[in-house]
Amino acid sequence: MTGVLLAAGLMMVPVRETGLPLQDPLGWWLYMNGTASSEMLPQVLPAVGSGLFSTTTAEGIHRGPLGEILRRSLPPGGLEDGSTGMALTGTAAGEVLVDDGELETRTGGTGRIYVSILPGLFLEERLSLWAGSDEQPPDYFSPFHQGMEKGRHLYVDWGYLRWDGGVVAASLGRMPQRWGPGRFNQLLLSDNSPPLDMLKLELRLFEDRLAFTGLTATVDSDSGTYLVSHRLDLSPSANLRIGFSESVLFKAEGLDLAYMNPLIPWYPVQWNERVDDNAFMCLDASWKPVTDLELYGELLIDDIQYENEADRPNKLGMTAGVSVYVSPLSMGSVLEYTRIDRYVYSQRESHNYYLHHGDIIGSGLGPDADVLTLSLGTAAVWPLLTEVTVDHTRHGEGTVQEGWPDSASTGGEFPSGIVEHSTGARLHIGCYPLDFMEVHATAGNEWVRNEGHVTGVSDSRFSSSLELFLVF
């Protein structure tokens, strides 16, 4: 899958495209590449022409494994300014999976077209077709598949037209999005749900020290549900970035021009002119005090009770993390904690739940839960990449579907009710022997206590897989 796909709108601010999809295993190492740099990049993943991502590998800052990972992430259209042309690419994948003693098989393929029409103007589209004995795609397909009908699955993963004029950029179509610096959880916009059909505008000023993004997207066209989001990123110094974001999910008979205006703050519009729309505010930051070390955090405000006459609880989410890269050992590590209060992403009206095709638009962790994740990886023995991840998750009984009931009040325990505890450990080994071949092997176990929120019910589930990817 490496070097095949082009994702628009990665991470913190508008991103000059790389060739990797959001969930490619090499994405973890591109984060490490950013952590290992001396400057805070204009976005989390390296950008074409950013110094880390030079027009040729030999000119890059990094040699060895990370330099090779950067090379494999090049967009298929190349890096030469002003070039035009067309690229037809695809993948074929096969996977054998053993999950809790059950043998499953999965196969699939993708087809992608990339057309550089004019300098700065391109068209990108990807289709996927897959089948699995467990009705799931191969693991390292992108996560943009939906529907559970039996048999073959044919999907339009994404397709959009983009113009990038440097200072100003505009995109129209179906695009994946992921905002926020979190490595494992993004609270406002993530790739947990399928891509949205949207119009997106971007503005970058003062050598990317100031960046703005605004988008209007359809969540459910049949019900007239829309999502608007905008974001402002400030870089007061080379090693610090601060982001301010808002999102509103609302239902309307037609497009709401008040919300479509990306230049005004939406909270006072929602508070004074609307009633039932689901509004969010978000603050995130990344700080790199020294090279090879990055500290980051994100705060999501779904609802805060500054005039709490009805004794209602706040609805907040937060992420805090640290990323470290040990250059002599080509080794990286990430420690991240995320907590999401009960009732976050819910709302009084069910059509305003923060969902797209049944999946949370924000973090897939969901409300009434927290998770601590530690990941350690090494690229010292290229072309082998090894990553070990352990995590512990607590889930209360709250869900998005419970809404925002009148009975909600402060003072409850977190997580609520009978808490389900889940501890997981996973080993992933990726091998990249040739430019057109990848081999992925995984093994992991999950230990669950109070499974299904039933006291005393425990389970242990082991899974392993072997997957072959061919890129053509």
How far apart are alpha carbons 352 and 224 in whole angstroms?
A: 11
Q: CA-to-CA distance for 354 and 346, rounded, in angstroms? A: 7
State yes or no: pLDDT of 12 exceeds 50. Answer: no
Q: Are 186 and 362 in contact (CB under 8 A)?
A: yes
DSSP assignment of 365-424, as one string?
A: T-SSEEEEEEEEEE-TTTTEEEEEEEEEEEE-S--GGG---TT--TT--SS-SS-EEEEE
pLDDT of residue 267: 83
Checking if the pLDDT of 189 tops 90, the result is yes
For 31-68, how does the pLDDT look when each residue is reduced to its tens digit (9 = 90+)? 888 888 777 655 444 444 444 544 443 344 445 687 77
Taking the C-alpha atoms of residue 56 and residue 194, their distance in angstroms, rounded to an integer, is 33
Instruction: Return the SS3 of 108.
Output: strand
Cβ pair 129, 156 in contact under 8 A? no
Query: Higher model confidence: residue 441 or residue 81?
Result: 441
Classify residue 139 by burial, with Cβ atoms within 10 Å: 0-12, 13-18, 19+. Answer: middle
Amino acid 273: pLDDT: 76
Query: Using CB atoms within 10 A of its CB, is residue 355 exposed (0-12), middle (13-18) or buried (19+)?
Result: buried
Please give the domain boundaries of the chain with CATH numbers for all domains: 27-471 (2.40.160.100)
User: What are the pLDDT digits (tens) for 237-281?
Assistant: 888 999 999 999 998 877 778 888 888 888 888 777 777 889 999
Q: For residues 229 and 196, what is the distance between their CA atoms, to the nearest angstrom?
A: 12
pLDDT tens digits for range 323-365: 999 988 899 999 999 999 999 999 988 999 999 988 999 999 9
Token pair, residue 67, equals: 């330099």
pLDDT at 269: 82
Alpha helix segments (H runs only) across 171-314: 257-260, 267-273
Q: Which residues pair with 287 in a beta bridge?
A: 240, 295
Alpha helices in 240-370 (DSSP H): 257-260, 267-273
Residues in contact with 266: Cβ distance below 8 Å, sequence separation at least 6, in sequence order = 228, 230, 246, 248, 259, 279
pLDDT at 56: 43
